[in-house]
Amino acid sequence: MNDSQVKQQIQQMVSFIRQEAEEKAAEIGVKAEEDFNIRKLSAVEAAREKIRAEYERKTKLIQVNRKMYVLWGRRMSEGKADTGVAWRGRQTPSYWGQLLTGRRLHVSSFIGC
């Protein structure tokens, strides 16, 4: 083997090694992209579930409040409720004060449990 053949063989080895390294780098890049997308999807789904749960909680709270106002309205129309308990700067019936201070109706009766 002469010098030119040795140089050519070395050049072939270097190009082969370089090609293998580039392929490996591409594989690592693809794997990193897949991992990123999986983690991103997981984070998005977790955030969606958190938002869904918060929405359901607020919806249930609105339903409870509506039922309480309807119940209060019935009591007012029957003449069983009186006003006079201040609640957050507004006049509310003492019935609401009773609900908020301990003589509560069971919440399950409001939310249909």
* Block mean pLDDT (10 aa), the chain, length 113: 90 96 97 97 96 93 85 72 48 53 48 48
The rounded distance, in Å, linking the Cα atoms of 57 and 64 is: 11
Q: What is the pLDDT of residue 96?
A: 54
pTM value is 0.48
- Identify the three-state secondary structure at position 73: helix
Q: Which of 57, 52, 71 is nearest to 109 (CA)?
A: 71
The pLDDT score that the predictor gives to residue 87 is 45
Q: What is the pLDDT of residue 90?
A: 52
Cβ atoms 85, 92 nearer than 8 A? yes
- Say if residues 77 and 65 touch (Cβ distance below 8 Å): no
